[in-house]
Amino acid sequence: MEKDSARPFGHSLEAFSPEKAAPLTAEPAPEQARAGSGLLTVQCSCGCCGVQESAGHGHGAAPHRHGTPWKKLAVAALLALLSEMAHFAEQGGFLASWEVPGVLPFVFAVAAIALSGVQTFKAGWLSIRRLDLNMAALMSVAVTGAVLIGQFPEAAMVMALFNISEAIEERVLEKARRSIKELLALSPEKATVRQPDGSWKETESRLVPLGALVRVRPGERIALDGIVREGHSAVDQSPITGESMPVEKAQGDAVFAGTINASGSFDFEVTAAASNTALARIIHAVEKAQAGRAPIQRFVDSFARWYTPCIFAASVLLALIPPLFLGAAWLSSIYTALVVLVIGCPCALVISTPVTLVSGLAAATRLGMLVKGGAFLEQGRLLRVLALDKTGTLTCGRPKLTDVLPLAGTEVERSRLLALAASLASRSDHPVSRALAEAHEGVAFAVNGFEAVPGKGIQGQVEGRRLRLGNLRLLQGLLCGEEGEELCRRASELEAKGRTVVALADESRVLALFAVADALRESSVQAVLELRGLGVRTVMLTGDNEAAARAIAEQAGVDEFRARLLPEDKLSVIEALAAEAGSGRGKVGMAGDGINDAPALARADIGFAMAGSGTDTAMETADVAIMDDDLRKLPRFVRLSRRVHGILMQNIALVLGVKALFFGLTLAGHTSMWMAVFADVGAALMVVGNGLRAGRR
């Protein structure tokens, strides 16, 4: 599957889109971000009822209804029914005393058509002039033909039922669009910002600069992305990450725009402009993805472009051949041809795919998965191999202290050893040093003469003696004799478990060994287990050494692992896996979070980015963003994709089955025009209702 070169995040909503979606600018005006979004003017592209042409859609487009005229449609339906009743009364002789018996059916029919069908006629004849034979063109020809052969009640009933069905469809479809449109109302327009003089003032969110301090009160919705600097609270993150329970936030934790503060109050530092928050990216993604189409949607559209002219041709042949060569009556043959036109309308077929994809994409968004387009949601069912980056994907990406081993002969207690090591470590920004510093909860000792030794560690003066903290290369002079051999043996045992070992020493001896490891995410084991149950093979990719990689692979339960990989090596592995899986029509996925994962994410059939802790490069390159870094979303994505595909197949089979049945009944002379409309309307409403099931959790 080829990927779009622009690779924007979002949802494939082209079938319900305006001609162009306005992208988010650096400083979008509130009215542009809300009222001007493409999500507020979504429309059906099935060509059923409108004049406006949807970009790239070959069989017509539907206008957006600015308020459905239900009263007018109800009156039109009543007039069509009166026309039908007047026709039956006339046939039964009840109107025999009238001087002009056909007046009532004609008057009622014309009034019904005028009330309900003006827009359809405009769209239909405009399409015919352009030689674009869409649904509106089919209806216009069918109704005009019925009027010309004197079937006034039939013409009125067809037009009234058709437009009522369109209104009902639009109302049902609004349910699929509503959950995505609600994103636009999530982010507050104003935030309480600290001013240079120390006061707090409400400011428009789009004007708040990076680094500003924003205060959030209990019950407020957070306006921007940031890092908590003071205070603590529980935050409902379900609009962004899909988590059902509030998440505790304290100093140093990230918060997202659009999420809801529960009870406490806190101040946070703004880390993203209003146009670049996680919520803004979701909205932007929804708009941008309108340019993408799923393979099955492209197939249905292509099929409809050929199918509709074929229906026109078949109707013409049915109107001409029986009277010319088989002695059939002209009026009967023309009527049958008009019925075939109505049955052959492709509306239900064309609408069957986009409504299902929109519902599935809306469900993915609610679950905290931002999908670039319907193509990836549809292809997820074919995932056979998933490569998983280790650091930041399978693991948390933040090393933690796992072991403190005081060495024999030292008289310093364990807590004091950790305090000494943490005091040195607090002066360094190395990940291992940060892990040691965070593990110590007490007061740090003062450090004098601090010095970093590149590639080896750090050293400094603590409590009057020179201490060194680093890898074993920093302590070469102390690693001799039996004591040195024992120290190296214990370090090797820890490294075999996938841990990074550092030692604390003074000028004469090694005092302790500290082991640091990147902890496995709580969700990783369950995610891998569920993926295996779905028939997806997992492969862990890492730049770590063989021992560290093996330890994490065994803990996570992955099927395979590849160690000591550079970014280009990861790309080569993905290419090899793609060649292997592609031979069986399978797809290869890649999940990662860093810049070094970007080439592999781009090459994979479906790239998954860890959006919570991942880099912008990974986010932009991938096709699906996991907003809360919960790997259990990966098997959920596969299951959702399979569910969506199953519903798509059901819809297509249902539409084609209904049409085949009524084509047969028509050729056997057992249907009428209004019955054909009921069949087409019924099929369309059934596929819409069935498609909405994809949006259920």
Averages of pLDDT over runs of 10 residues in the chain (697 residues) are 38 31 34 34 39 34 51 78 72 50 74 77 77 70 75 75 69 57 67 91 90 90 89 78 69 84 87 78 55 58 71 84 85 84 74 78 82 83 92 82 78 82 85 84 85 82 88 68 75 80 85 86 92 95 81 91 84 89 79 79 88 65 82 94 91 86 83 74 79 74
Measuring CA to CA, how many Å separate 443 from each of 400, 404, 418, 419, 440? 19, 18, 11, 8, 8
Pick the CATH number of 374-395+521-640 from 3.40.50.1000, 1.10.460.10, 3.30.70.360, 3.40.30.10: 3.40.50.1000
CATH class of domain segment(s) 190-276: mainly beta
Q: pTM score > 0.95 for this model? A: no
How far apart are alpha carbons 320 and 172 in whole angstroms? 40
Domain boundaries, the chain: 190-276, 374-395+521-640, 397-519
3-state secondary structure 591-620: EECCHHHHHHHHHCCEEEEECCCCCHHHHH
Which residues are registered as beta bridge partners of 608? 591, 624
Residues 6+ apart with CB under 8 A from 472: 479, 487, 488, 491, 501, 503
Contacts for 213-216 with beta carbons within 8 Å, 24 or more apart? 213/267, 213/268, 213/269, 213/270, 214/267, 214/268, 214/269, 214/270, 215/265, 215/266, 215/267, 216/192, 216/255, 216/261, 216/265, 216/266, 216/267, 216/268
Q: What angle do CA 410, 411, 417 make, to 5 degrees?
A: 80
What pLDDT does 431 receive? 75
How far apart are alpha carbons 196 and 200 in whole angstroms? 9
Q: Does domain 397-519 have CATH number 3.40.1110.10?
A: yes
How far apart are alpha carbons 659 and 696 in whole angstroms? 28
DSSP states of 529-542 as a string? HHHHHTT-EEEEE-
How far apart are alpha carbons 97 and 359 in whole angstroms? 58
CB 388 within 8 A of CB 394: yes
What pLDDT does 91 receive? 57
Residues annotated as part of the active site: 389
What pLDDT does 529 receive? 95
What pLDDT does 194 receive? 92
How far apart are alpha carbons 224 and 249 in whole angstroms? 15
- SS3 call for 649: helix
Measuring CA to CA, how many Å separate 588 from each of 400, 527, 539, 596? 32, 17, 11, 18
